[in-house]
Structure 1
Amino acid sequence: MKSNKFMILLSILILSFVLVACGGDKNATGSKGNQDSNSNTETGSKTSVNTVEDARIEAENPAASPQLAINRGDTVVVGLQEPGGVFTPYFNTSGYDGNVQSVMFPPLVDINEVGEPVPGLAEKWDISEDGLTYTYTLRDGLLFDNGTPFTAEDVEFTLTLLHDPSYGGGTDITEAKVVGGLDYKEGDATEISGINVIDEKTIEITTEEVNAQSLRLLGGQILQKDYYGKDYKKGDLDYLNALHLKPVGAGPFRFVDYLPGQEIRYEANEHYYDGKPEVAQFIYKTTEGDSQQFFQTGELDYSALAANQDNFEFLQALGFADINVYTSSAYSYMSFNHEKEIFKDPKVRQAFILGLDRQTIIDAHFQGYAQVANVPVSPTSWAYSDEIGTTAYDLEKAKQLLEEAGWTEGSDGIREKDGEKLKVYYFTSSGGLGDTLIPIAKENYKELGIDFQVEQMDFNALLARVDKGDHDIASFSTTMLTDPYFGVQGFHSKSTSATFKGYANDEIDALIDATIATNDIDERTEAFHELYKALEENPPAIYLGYTKVLSGVNARVEGFEPNGYRGIASSLKNLKVVDVNN
Structure 2
Amino acid sequence: MNKNHSRVIICREGYGMKQGRDQKKLIGILGICLMILISGALPGKGFSSGLSYGYSGEEDSLLTVGIESSTGNFNPFYYPQGADGDVVDLVFQRLVRRDFEGNWTGDAAEEWEISEDGKIITVTLREGLTFSDGEAVTAEDVVFSYRVISDPSYAGGHNTYARKLEGYQSYREGDTEDFPGVRAIDDGTVEFRFQQGGGENLESVGFYIVPKHEYQEFYRYNDTARLREKRSEPLGSGPYTLENLIMGEYVYLTGNPHYYNEETYAIEEIIMQLIEENTEIDDLTQGNVDLINGQSEIRNIKIAKGEDGIAHNKYYNDSQGLYFFNHENGATQDPAVRKALRHAMDLEELMEHHFEGYGTVPAHFFGENADIADEEGIQSLKNPSYDLEKAKEILAEGGWHLNDDGYREKDGEVLTLRIIGSTHSDIIETLSPLWDRDWANALGIEIDNAYGGMNAIMEDLIYDADANVDVWNVVFLELSLDPFAPLGAVEGYFHSSNIGTNRGNISRYQNEALDELIEKARETEDLEEEKAYYVEIAEILQEEDAYAPVYTPEYYDLYTEKLTDFKTNSHFTWTRALETARLSGEDINRDGNGGEEEEGVPWRTASYGVIALFLLFKWKNRR
Normalised to the residue count of structure 2, the TM-score between the two structures is 0.74
Q: Judge conservation of contact 2:362–2:549 (CA < 8 Å) in 1.
A: yes
Deviates more, 1:572-581 or 1:170-179: 170-179
Q: Give CA-to-partner distance per residue, 1:50-103, whole Å, 9 cap, x none.
A: xxxxxxxxxxxxxxxx99899883322223342444322232454553333222
User: Is 1:490 the counterpart of 2:493 in the alignment?
Assistant: yes
> In the TM superposition, what are the counterparts of 1:150-549 in structure 2 within 5 Å?
150-173=137-160, 176-186=163-173, 189-275=176-262, 277-290=265-278, 291-304=280-293, 307=296, 310-384=299-373, 385-388=378-381, 390-426=383-419, 427-429=421-423, 432-445=426-439, 446-452=441-447, 454=449, 471-479=472-480, 481-482=482-483, 483-485=485-487, 487-488=489-490, 489-492=492-495, 493-494=497-498, 501-505=506-510, 507=512, 508-517=514-523, 521-549=527-555
CA distance in 2: counterparts of 1:105 and 1:401, whole angstroms: 56
May I ask how many residue pairs the two structures share in their alignment? 517
Matched letter for residue 404 of structure 2: S
Shift of 1:462: 6.1
Q: Please tell me whether the aligned partners of residues 162 and 168 of structure 2 are also in contact (alpha carbons under 8 angstroms).
A: no
2:568 maps to 562
In 1, Cα distance between the equivalents of 2:478 and 2:168?
33
Identity %: 27
The SS at the match of 2:116 is: coil
- 1:487/1:188 Cα in 2 relative to 1: closer, same or farther (>3 Å)? closer
Partner of 2:314, secondary structure, is: strand
Distance 2:226 2:298 in 1: 50
Q: Is the 8 A contact 2:313 2:556 kept in 1?
A: yes
Q: Is the 8 A contact 2:566 2:582 kept in 1?
A: no
8 Å CA contact 2:92–2:209 kept in 1: the answer is: yes
Distance 1:193 1:521, change over 3 A: same
CA distance in 2, matches of 1:436, 1:96: 29
What SS does the corresponding residue of 2:380 show, helix, strand or coil?
A: coil
Residues 144-171 of structure 1: per-residue CA shift (max 9 Å, x gap) = 2222222222222222222322222223
* C-alpha distance in structure 1 between counterparts of 2:301 and 2:228, whole Å: 43
Instruction: Check whether the contact 1:425–1:472 (CA below 8 A) recurs between aligned residues.
Output: yes
Aligned-residue offset at 1:350: 2.5
Stretches of structure 1 lacking an aligned partner (at least 5 in a row): 1-65
Q: Give me the whole-angstrom Cα distance separating, in 1, the residues matched to 2:119 and 2:418.
A: 47
> In 1, are the aligned partners of 2:150 and 2:162 still within 8 Å (CA)?
no
Deviation at 1:575, TM superposition (A): 3.3
* Alignment partners' CA distance in 2, 1:207 and 1:430: 38
Distance 2:425 2:201 in 1: 38
Shift of 1:372: 0.9
Distance of aligned partners of 1:518 and 1:224 in 2 relative to their CA distance in 1, 3 Å threshold: farther
C-alpha displacement at 1:457, in angstroms? 6.2
Question: Take 1:188 and 1:575, find their aligned partners in 2: how far apart are those partners?
Answer: 48
Following the alignment from structure 2 to structure 1, what is the Cα–Cα distance between the partners of residues 294 and 176?
50
Q: Secondary structure at the match of 1:243?
A: coil
Q: CA deviation at 1:431?
A: 6.9
Q: Deviations over 1:322-361 (max 9, x none)?
A: 1222222221112234453122223322221222121221
Q: Distance in 1 between matches of 2:232 and 2:138?
A: 23
Distance 1:396 1:511, change over 3 A: farther
Change (3 A) 1:321 1:459: farther
- Indicate how the Cα distance of structure 1 residues 335 and 285 shifts in structure 2: closer, same or farther if over 3 A, else same: farther
Cross-structure match for 1:39: none
Report the CA distance shift for 1:347/1:567 in structure 2 as closer, same or farther (over 3 A): farther
**1:331 is paired with a residue of what secondary structure?**
strand
Counterpart-to-counterpart distance in 2, 1:466 and 1:287: 37
- Measured against aligned partners, the alpha-carbon deviations of 1:174-221 in whole angstroms (never above 9, x if no partner) come to 865433444444466444334343333322222231244321113322
Report matched runs for 1:13-162 at 5 Å: 73=59, 74-94=61-81, 96-113=83-100, 115-162=102-149
- Which structure would you say has the larger RCO, counting Cα contacts within 8 Å and 6 or more residues apart? 1
Change (3 A) 1:284 1:347: farther
SS in 1 for 2:436: helix
CA contact (8 A) 1:429 1:462 kept: no
The one-letter code matched in structure 2 to 1:171 is: H
CA gap of 1:114–1:558, structure 2 versus 1, over 3 A, is closer
Q: Separation in 1 of the partners of 2:509 and 2:321?
A: 21
Distance 1:211 1:576, change over 3 A: same
Q: How many Å separate the matches in 1 of 2:535 and 2:519? A: 13
Equivalent of 2:558 in 552, 555, 563: 552
Point out the more displaced range, 154-163 or 191-200: 191-200
Amino acid in structure 1 at the alignment position of 2:75:
T
Change (3 A) 1:232 1:458: closer
State whether residues 481 and 565 of structure 1, in contact with CA within 8 Å, keep that contact through their aligned partners in structure 2. Answer: no
Cα-to-partner distance string for 1:464-506 (whole Å, 9 max, x where unaligned): 7767855433322223625324543233452666886451425
| Distance 1:190-1:367 versus aligned 2 partners, 3 A rule | closer
Q: Is the 8 A contact 2:409 2:415 kept in 1?
A: yes
1:453 Cα deviation (Å)?
5.0
Task: Give the superposition deviation at 1:509.
Answer: 4.4
CA distance in 1, matches of 2:130, 2:524: 34
Q: CA deviation at 1:370?
A: 1.1
Quote the Cα distance in structure 2 between the aligned partners of 1:301 and 1:513.
Answer: 47
Per-residue deviation, residues 108-150 of structure 1 (Å, max 9, x unmatched): 2212445443333223322211111112222333222222222
Distance 1:96 1:422, change over 3 A: farther
Check the 8 A contact 1:114/1:565 in 2, yes or no. Answer: no
Q: RMSD of the alignment, in Å?
A: 3.4
Cα displacement (A) at 1:417:
1.9
